[in-house]
């Protein structure tokens, strides 16, 4: 069903890879049924499935989808957690998969405030290699890449460790960078990562970032594109570059390595690569001196003249970094990377020339079996219902219909994605809300909307991550126009510790801002939430005035370091846009230097 991974011909025949996907997309409904059948056959008799199917084999292709949906219930991570912990503790019985599981992925914990285990198998690495191969094939049709070029790739591994039962645990990106598939990518791509494995796996993201930048500059004329898993990592790297460029130039001029790099294996591999290059160092210094006066605008194409584009995930919680990415990238195209989760890859960006704000992802029907829960906005209904009913809806923003298979989705409809994976998750509610924007052949093209659980709510109000981002983006224009300051990062919290509860928005700002401007921003944010429940609750004082907290510079870096200290990798990190995590709130409140309260409804 899936094309074999050809180690000797990786990325050399883009047409073959695209033709495979186009054929799968044209027959998406049949391929999905085959995918479901294969998953159920491979894992027939595992404890979780036996609980619902007994010894029944669902082999009737025409009735399989409906029987499966009838007999196996929808599930959340909590339903799989006991099985995954038994696996982590060393239980050998087939609980979720027939093949023994040897590896577990660890989520970052940024979404729900705690890390969780997710199954990771060889299939996970193979589909990662496959989607990278497919995405590169589509990009190569628009952006021509030189044979033998290099990629400035800000990627980071974190430490792997063993569970009580001896399984290897770590982030999904860490597992992939340690896999055979990543080695294939490095050996057989037209353009490959300029940083060696020792830099990627250093375990210290600051030292890795310095070395990524150093090697990127050293090979500056060979770099074809700049990439990372998330836009955040690229923005972080170039914020660091603004402070490090003189030190980097010194190392290139002298062929030395900064004393900030103290990991022996990293020191050795870098010093084996670089030799003194005074001419290159002077060229970089001249560019940096000029661009520094322009607040680093267009630094990427000026330092890397042969770069064709910037490639990274820019949707969802990464959207707030688009402006800064455009600032650093100048006129370079921003190409949105593909759509996936720790649990499964989902869709490919088959139209890489689309701007990030309009990108869609064509589902790859061989990767998992996909179902879709139709969602309908419930804001007006929740307000008009009784107070009791409104409370039942207070943790969500949608009314659901019964799930439908991929072949029955409709353009313009919003859905929550449900996954059945080769790695042992069955009818797993992913929590992502997407809209069907169209079809690629006969496979849906998805527009990512938001994470379903990330909702600001105090009373009968329900504002999603997307609602918050739109409000912050709109109001940050006031900040820029009236002070020329920059919003570095933000998050929020629904404070219900006192009555009435209220929204708290935390901003980190670069630059000086008059307090009158910040007061105006606070009022405008409060007035910009258009959710009916919020507006009415503010007018009746069921929700208190919005609070804007200005935190000191470096606060969000402290949050990053907290997550990394708990085992997350920089490649995986996403600033939580809405949090109730008490550790994060302590960091934010200790670092708050100014507070403003809205008078919008006063």
Q: Can you give the pLDDT at residue 333?
A: 94
With contact defined as beta carbons under 8 Å apart, do 408 and 352 qualify? no
Determine how β-strand 334-336 pairs with β-strand 309-313: parallel
Distance from chain centroid for Cα 585: 22
Distance CA 430, CA 451 (A): 9
Residues 6+ apart with CB under 8 A from 31: 1, 24, 365, 366
With contact defined as beta carbons under 8 Å apart, do 27 and 54 qualify? no
With contact defined as beta carbons under 8 Å apart, do 173 and 107 qualify? no
Distance CA 352, CA 335 (A): 6
Distance CA 296, CA 291 (A): 5
Distance CA 195, CA 216 (A): 8
For residue range 79-95, list pLDDT tens digits in order.
999 999 898 888 888 99
Distance CA 298, CA 327 (A): 6
Q: Can you give the pLDDT at residue 382?
A: 40
With contact defined as beta carbons under 8 Å apart, do 547 and 585 qualify? no
Residues 6+ apart with CB under 8 A from 272: none
Residue 439 sits at the vertex; the CA angle it makes with 438 and 444, to the nearest 5 degrees, is 95
Q: Can you give the pLDDT at residue 11?
A: 42
Distance CA 312, CA 153 (A): 10
Give the H or E element holding residue 249: helix 231-254
Distance from chain centroid for Cα 87: 27
Write the DSSP assignment of 413-448 as a string of letters: -EEEEEEE-TTS--SEEEEEEEEEEEEETTEEEEEE
Distance CA 590, CA 246 (A): 33
Q: Can you give the pLDDT at residue 4?
A: 40
Distance CA 421, CA 343 (A): 8
Token code pair at residue 337 = 């990377």
Distance CA 354, CA 235 (A): 21
Q: Can you give the pLDDT at residue 8?
A: 30
Low-confidence ranges of the chain (pLDDT < 70): 1-13, 61, 107-115, 179-181, 183-191, 378-398, 454, 567-569, 571-572
Distance CA 95, CA 100 (A): 9
Place of tokens 């379903």: 452
């Amino acid at each position: 069903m899936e094309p074999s991974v050809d180690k000797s011909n990786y990325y050399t025949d883009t047409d073959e890879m695209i033709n495979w996907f186009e054929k799968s997309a044209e027959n998406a409904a049949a391929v999905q049924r085959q995918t479901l059948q294969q998953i159920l056959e491979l894992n027939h008799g595992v404890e979780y499935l036996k609980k619902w199917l007994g010894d029944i084999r669902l082999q009737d292709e025409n009735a399989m989808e409906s029987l499966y949906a009838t007999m196996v219930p929808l599930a959340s991570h909590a339903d799989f957690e006991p099985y995954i912990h038994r696996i982590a503790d060393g239980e050998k019985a087939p609980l979720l998969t027939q093949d023994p599981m040897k590896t577990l992925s660890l989520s970052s914990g940024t979404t729900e405030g705690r890390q969780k285990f997710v199954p990771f198998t060889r299939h996970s690495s193979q589909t990662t290699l496959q989607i990278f191969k497919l995405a590169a094939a589509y990009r190569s049709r628009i952006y021509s890449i030189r044979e033998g070029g290099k990629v400035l790739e800000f990627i980071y591994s974190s430490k792997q460790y063993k569970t009580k039962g001896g399984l290897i645990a770590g982030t999904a990106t860490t597992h992939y960078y340690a896999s055979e598939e990543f080695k294939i990518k490095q050996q057989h791509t037209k353009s490959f990562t300029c940083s060696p494995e020792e830099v990627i796996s250093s375990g210290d993201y600051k030292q890795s970032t310095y070395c990524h930048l150093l090697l990127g500059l050293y090979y500056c004329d060979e770099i074809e594109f700049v990439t990372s898993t998330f836009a955040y990592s690229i923005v972080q790297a170039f914020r660091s570059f603004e402070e490090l460029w003189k030190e980097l130039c010194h190392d290139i001029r002298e062929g030395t390595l900064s004393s900030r790099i103290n990991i022996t294996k990293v020191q050795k591999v870098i010093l084996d690569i670089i030799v003194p290059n005074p001419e290159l160092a002077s060229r970089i210094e001249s560019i940096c001196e000029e661009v520094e006066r322009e607040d680093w605008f267009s630094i990427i194409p000026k330092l890397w003249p042969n770069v064709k584009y910037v490639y990274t995930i820019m949707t969802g919680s990464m959207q707030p970094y688009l402006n800064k990415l455009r600032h650093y990238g100048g006129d370079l195209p921003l190409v949105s990377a593909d759509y996936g989760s720790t649990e499964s890859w989902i869709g490919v960006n088959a139209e890489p020339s689309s701007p990030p704000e309009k990108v869609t992802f064509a589902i790859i029907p061989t990767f998992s079996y996909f179902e879709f829960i139709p969602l309908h906005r419930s804001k007006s209904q929740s307000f008009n219902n009784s107070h009791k009913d409104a409370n039942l809806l207070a943790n969500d923003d949608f009314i659901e219909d019964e799930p439908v298979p991929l072949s029955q989705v409709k353009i313009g409809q919003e859905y929550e994605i449900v996954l059945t994976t080769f790695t042992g998750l069955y009818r797993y509610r992913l929590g992502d809300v997407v809209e069907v924007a169209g079809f690629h052949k006969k496979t849906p093209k998805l527009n990512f909307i938001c994470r379903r659980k990330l909702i600001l709510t105090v009373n009968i109000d329900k504002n999603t991550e997307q609602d918050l981002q739109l409000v912050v983006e709109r109001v940050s224009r006031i900040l820029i126009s009236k002070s020329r300051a920059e919003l570095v990062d933000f998050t929020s919290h629904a404070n219900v510790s006192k009555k009435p509860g209220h929204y708290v928005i935390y901003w980190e700002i670069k630059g000086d801002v008059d307090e009158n401007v910040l007061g105006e921003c606070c009022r405008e944010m409060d007035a910009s939430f258009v959710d009916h429940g919020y507006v009415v609750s503010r007018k009746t004082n069921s929700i208190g005035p919005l609070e804007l907290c200005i935190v000191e510079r470096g606060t969000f870096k402290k949050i990053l370091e907290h997550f990394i200290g708990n085992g997350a990798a920089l490649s995986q990190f996403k600033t939580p846009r809405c949090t109730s995590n008490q550790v994060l709130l302590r960091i934010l409140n200790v670092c708050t230097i100014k507070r403003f309260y809205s008078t919008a409804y006063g």
